[in-house]
Structure 1
Amino acid sequence: MKPAQLRRIGGAVAVALTAGLFAAPAAVADGTGLRVTGTTASPQPRDLSAGTTGDACDQTTAPGWIGLTSGGPTLRADVASDTYGGLSASFAVRDLTTGTAAFDGTGQADGGIATTTVPGLADGHAYAWNARALQDGATSASSPDCHFKLDLSRPQATVSSTDFPPSGSGQTSTKYAGQTGTFVVGGTDLAPAGGEASGIACFLYAFDVYRLGGDCDADSVKPGPDGTATIRTKVRQWGTNTLWVVAVDNAGNQSYKVGYTFYAPSNPSPPSSPGDVDGDGVVDILLPDAQGNLQYISASANDTTPNWSVRALAAPNAQRSWTPLQVAHRGWDSSAHAPMDDLFIHEPGSGWLSMYQNSDYGALEGYTIGANRPEECEDATGAVVPCPADFAGNWSKADQLLAFGPLGDGPEPSLLTLEGGDLWLHTGDLAYSFDLRSRRLTTGGGWTGYDLVAPGRDAAGNLALWARERATGALHAYAIPRQTGGGFDFSALADPSAGVVATGFTVDAYPVLGSSGDGDGDAVPDLWAVTADRHLLTYRGLADPKDLGVLR
């Protein structure tokens, strides 16, 4: 056999194994060395429920399904010969449902690969096919039979819900926007006369029709024995909503999109907890997953399953990934939406700072507002003073950015930044027009080398700042008590080396530290940490770590 033919055969086997197929059938030949070395069908026969694909080129493997195609399935034969000359292949297809011949045809070989498209096959029938190599009037032995079944009909889908009845039904919703509703989806995959249907494999669903994926991806549910499935999902918009559902059969055929429209009333008594992004009243930990999606994990959770994930493509940066971004949250604009945190988004080194006004329970499907750098500063008394000459005109010097917590009686947030080794507090209208004023809290640049954590208020309304000394792993806590008559005492921030409360939080062991506030409901802010092997730990205050498992 010539080296070129060896490479071709090796390539065919490698493709089969990589795709998870059964090994290619053994070469068959007549006395001249003319042979078929591999056979495959396209699209690849599959069964989505079983999670299998393959050509079933034996007598024991259950054949997979081929769905709707343009013109019919394409059959491929890899052919080879010990002599040069024009190679082609003949293909024979038998209808196993009727026991009759269905197709005979030939395909010219290009680079040892011959193909033919088979039109006119019957919906719901099972087929067997084989190929023979042809050269100069010679014909090889037949390849082993391969098998597939055909499903050329789209399934159908239905949706119903008692939590959120359909618009126009006259029924009243029993749930509010921001709460999780139950939707029952059903489907049919009708068998054609004299044939078989592949059956429903799953239902895809999304409130944004453009988020509907293909096949049975993460946003899908599988039917039970009665053919229905239950979708439990949070309704993230007040007012009229549409849940889109698609049924997918085992051949990969998708139903037409079904839109289930309903009205979600606003909650007259919504839960309120600074640090909560998705509106369930429990503070959330926001961390990127391995694919750059932004995941929300409840601070009271027992594992790392996210409540919600925002797609990487929705990130407001050139990389379309949340991984390099700082995302800070604690507080919201009380005049704009229900009580749940607005999000502040910054990429270190970038001059821009964006805010997302969170009116969709953390879905982040709207637009961000850009923040201009403050043009005025203030002193400790609140008096307006000129900003120092080295005060940056944009946010590029903000090495770290935290949502510090509400400073007044309302939930409106404030920001803390680390710039040039000093701490700056930014307050004002952070939720709409970004009319900010900035106050310098420290001088001398002593905060270089510290990772900052903002735990928010305690039960008495006092604030604090935590900081990890990167060189030693020591964890410091600085009390920022609320003063009589309003305001806070920031004097403890003058000495970053003071207030050691724990040791061992080294950068190598815990690359990321943070706090979303009170995660366990005891009115004391809690720490969380990500270990070097991406385990998420939550703490009771600063002690008793609980391992929630590996992050996605």
Structure 2
Amino acid sequence: MYSARLLTSAATVALAAGLLTAPAATAVGAAVTDPHAVPAPGFASTGARTDACDDTTAPGFVPTAAPVLTARTTGTEARYALWDETTGTKLFDQTVPALDGLLSATPTGLTDGHTYAWRYWPAGGGKPTPKCHFRVDVTAPAAVAVSSTDFPESGSGQTPQKYAGQLGSFTFKADGATCYQYVLNGTLSVGSPCQTPAGPDGTLTVQLKPKQWGTNTLTVQATDDAGNVAQPVSYSFYAPWNPNPASAPGDVDGDAVADILLPDQAGNLQVISTGGNDTTPSSVIAAQLSPSGASWAGTEIVSRGYQNHDPVSDLQVLSPGNGYLYTYPNFDLGEFRGGAALFFGTRPAGTPGMEPDWSRATQLVGLGVLGQGTISSLLSVEDGDLWLFTNPRNMYRYRTATQLSTGGAWAGYQVIEPAVAADGSLTLRSRELATGQLREYAVPKGADGTYDFAALAAPAAGTVVGTFPVADYPTLDSSADGNLYAVTASRHLVTFTGLTHPKDRGLLK
């Protein structure tokens, strides 16, 4: 847990005393090369590793008082020595045998907090290895102190200043800490204990959003640069329910901004805010929660409505070919830990020309709320034709289905979510897969509240407003705020304002 320190003046004393000077060579001996300490000295906060085999590199830390000092030789043995740079004293000077060319020495009893120098010389004299350095740190950081004025610790008598679903500041402090690992309402991950570097004084302030109202638990663990880990600390706090939550169509994570939903390369579903500047997800929904239980890739997802909870969007998910429309209630601001409700999302029975389930549907698009309620109406493409599902009731049960095209007119077209005008009128979009041409279709809202979908009968008749070849943009869609987004062939997310002003948000996971 010791802070970075340059080689002390004691090293100068050692040099003056000749302690670090190789003995005069009487003959050219076998070569010695490749000096390394095990474990490798380094800095856990940055991941950097160094043997500091010069006089300028800051020595790395080892979490043991008995590191193994190794080198390679072409001879049968070599001499090694080790000095305490903090006190300027030589501690070891001895001959080490080689085993298949490997030299290995293990000094013991080294002092916590001290800096050491070491090197090897060939048997019989000759050029030594460079002088290498490391620092010993076997003391874990102190216990972490966690504080927050936004979400005070339970039992403190202080009143929370924020609600569930809002970002709050949390400050971690531990003497000797150089980085922290933390998790809200979960288990610390196994592996590298360094998640976020601390400041020079061992302090770190993070912004976290409790996604469930009631009692939450933040678990924090401190680590120093040697990799010594303190005992985890649990910080419990209460996040009150927000009586007046902000909302926006397509908002999944509760920040009142529409979200983009895209699978990562591992099949997990990423929730990415349209209001951000990069591709960092606000939450990641595990692949195991997908309809297949393996991946969200290939699914059609609508996030345009909600029911029986705060105004954040549920997910309606079509996995083409299996007959179900899966509904994922959003009770936890985009975590979806409760999984899917299979008995939701039914369609009207007995509609002429329509299958009783969703097995023929290959595309699914949300139109938003058309009329009363909070549930989105839907468009689906089935056997190449467009179907409209309206009049939703409790548990996403659609009572009306209308066929909008015939003859497989929409085969070869991708349907894209619409933009919604101030008067409620829609502008639907499509992409012709063969040419990449982007088209728009007006769906006006009448004075009586009904919508005219006549323009959707002939997709080729839409107004061409751009070109997005599938080879260049394998993914093209629109967020619920009406703004287009695309994923390039190199997996960069590009967002637009409407259809213009492209912005490269960076590489997706």
Pair in the same fold by TM > 0.5: yes
Q: Give the equivalent residue in structure 2 for 1:287.
A: 262
Q: Give the equivalent residue in structure 2 for 1:84.
A: none
Q: Give the equivalent residue in structure 1 for 2:342.
A: 371
Contact 1:374 1:438 in 2 (8 A): no
Could you tell me how far 1:274 is from its partner in structure 2? 1.4
Q: Give the equivalent residue in structure 1 for 2:425.
A: 462
Within 2, Cα distance between the matches of 1:266 and 1:536?
Answer: 34
Amino acid at match of 2:60: G
Contact 2:147 2:170 in 1 (8 A): yes
59, 64, 78: which is aligned to 1:63? 59
| 2:486 is the alignment partner of 1:529 | yes
Within 2, Cα distance between the matches of 1:253 and 1:317?
Answer: 42
| 2:72 is the alignment partner of 1:78 | yes
Structure 1 SS opposite 2:368: coil
Structure 1 residues 426 and 161, CA gap change in structure 2 (3 angstroms): same
395, 401, 425: which is aligned to 1:439? 401
| 2:197 is the alignment partner of 1:229 | no
Could you tell me how far 1:449 is from its partner in structure 2? 1.2
Tell me the TM-score normalized by structure 1: 0.76
Q: Deviations over 1:76-100 (max 9, x none)?
A: 222324xxxxx46665433222334
| 2:480 is the alignment partner of 1:514 | no
Amino acid at match of 1:61: T
Contact 1:425 1:440 in 2 (8 A): yes
Q: Deviations over 1:279-312 (max 9, x none)?
A: 11111222345666544333244x2253514166
Amino acid at match of 2:334: G
Could you tell me how far 1:116 is from its partner in structure 2? 4.6
Could you tell me how far 1:170 is from its partner in structure 2? 1.5
Structure 1 residues 142 and 368, CA gap change in structure 2 (3 angstroms): same
Provide the aligned C-alpha RMSD in A. 3.6
Amino acid at match of 2:439: H
Q: Give the equivalent residue in structure 2 for 1:38.
A: 34
Q: Deviations over 1:46-105 (max 9, x none)?
A: 1245653211122232211112x5x84233222324xxxxx4666543322233444567
Q: Give the equivalent residue in structure 1 for 2:114.
A: 125
Gaps of 5+ in 1: 1-28, 82-86, 190-199, 379-383, 519-524
Within 1, Cα distance between the matches of 2:452 and 2:100?
Answer: 79
Q: Give the equivalent residue in structure 1 for 2:179.
A: 202
| 2:88 is the alignment partner of 1:99 | yes
Amino acid at match of 2:110: L
Structure 1 SS opposite 2:178: strand
Contact 1:204 1:221 in 2 (8 A): no
Contact 1:375 1:387 in 2 (8 A): no
Contact 1:474 1:503 in 2 (8 A): yes
Structure 1 residues 150 and 261, CA gap change in structure 2 (3 angstroms): same
| 2:135 is the alignment partner of 1:149 | yes
Structure 2 SS opposite 1:165: coil
Q: Give the equivalent residue in structure 2 for 1:332.
A: 306
Structure 1 SS opposite 2:460: coil
Structure 1 residues 319 and 118, CA gap change in structure 2 (3 angstroms): farther
Could you tell me how far 1:492 is from its partner in structure 2? 2.6
Structure 2 SS opposite 1:369: coil
Q: Deviations over 1:376-431 (max 9, x none)?
A: 645xxxxx43665xx38664x43323333234412123443323212234568798
Structure 1 SS opposite 2:459: coil
Q: Give the equivalent residue in structure 2 for 1:197.
A: none
Q: Give the equivalent residue in structure 2 for 1:180.
A: 167
Structure 1 residues 34 and 261, CA gap change in structure 2 (3 angstroms): same
Contact 1:238 1:265 in 2 (8 A): yes
Q: Give the equivalent residue in structure 1 for 2:316.
A: 344
| 2:333 is the alignment partner of 1:361 | yes
1:9-48 paired onto structure 2 within 5 Å: 34-48=30-44
Contact 1:242 1:259 in 2 (8 A): yes
Within 1, Cα distance between the matches of 2:320 and 2:507?
Answer: 23
Contact 1:357 1:431 in 2 (8 A): no
Structure 1 residues 339 and 148, CA gap change in structure 2 (3 angstroms): same
285, 296, 300: which is aligned to 2:271? 296
| 2:196 is the alignment partner of 1:220 | yes
Within 1, Cα distance between the matches of 2:198 and 2:203?
Answer: 8
Q: Deviations over 1:301-337 (max 9, x none)?
A: 4x2253514166666377965555444311112x1x2
| 2:501 is the alignment partner of 1:545 | yes
Structure 1 residues 448 and 168, CA gap change in structure 2 (3 angstroms): same
Contact 2:415 2:429 in 1 (8 A): yes
Instruction: Count residues with an aligned counterpart.
Output: 483
Contact 1:373 1:436 in 2 (8 A): no
Q: Deviations over 1:159-218 (max 9, x none)?
A: 1111111111111111111111111221202xxxxxxxxxx322222214435465576x
Within 2, Cα distance between the matches of 1:221 and 1:400?
Answer: 44
| 2:145 is the alignment partner of 1:158 | yes
Structure 1 residues 363 and 173, CA gap change in structure 2 (3 angstroms): same
Amino acid at match of 1:547: K
Structure 2 SS opposite 1:76: strand
1:385-534 paired onto structure 2 within 5 Å: 385=351, 388=354, 391=355, 395=359, 397-426=360-389, 439=401, 441=403, 442-455=405-418, 457-482=420-445, 488-518=451-481, 525-532=482-489, 534=491
Within 2, Cα distance between the matches of 1:58 and 1:348?
Answer: 62
Q: Give the equivalent residue in structure 1 for 2:284.
A: 310
Within 2, Cα distance between the matches of 1:411 and 1:489?
Answer: 21
User: Aligned residues: percent identity?
Assistant: 44
Tell me the TM-score normalized by structure 2: 0.81
Amino acid at match of 1:160: S
Q: Give the equivalent residue in structure 1 for 2:6.
A: none
157, 161, 168: which is aligned to 2:155? 168
Q: Deviations over 1:229-253 (max 9, x none)?
A: 2211222111111122222222222
Within 1, Cα distance between the matches of 2:292 and 2:92?
Answer: 52
Contact 2:178 2:202 in 1 (8 A): no
Q: Deviations over 1:138-178 (max 9, x none)?
A: 78864333210011111132111111111111111111111
Contact 1:154 1:254 in 2 (8 A): yes
Contact 1:373 1:394 in 2 (8 A): no
Contact 1:374 1:437 in 2 (8 A): no
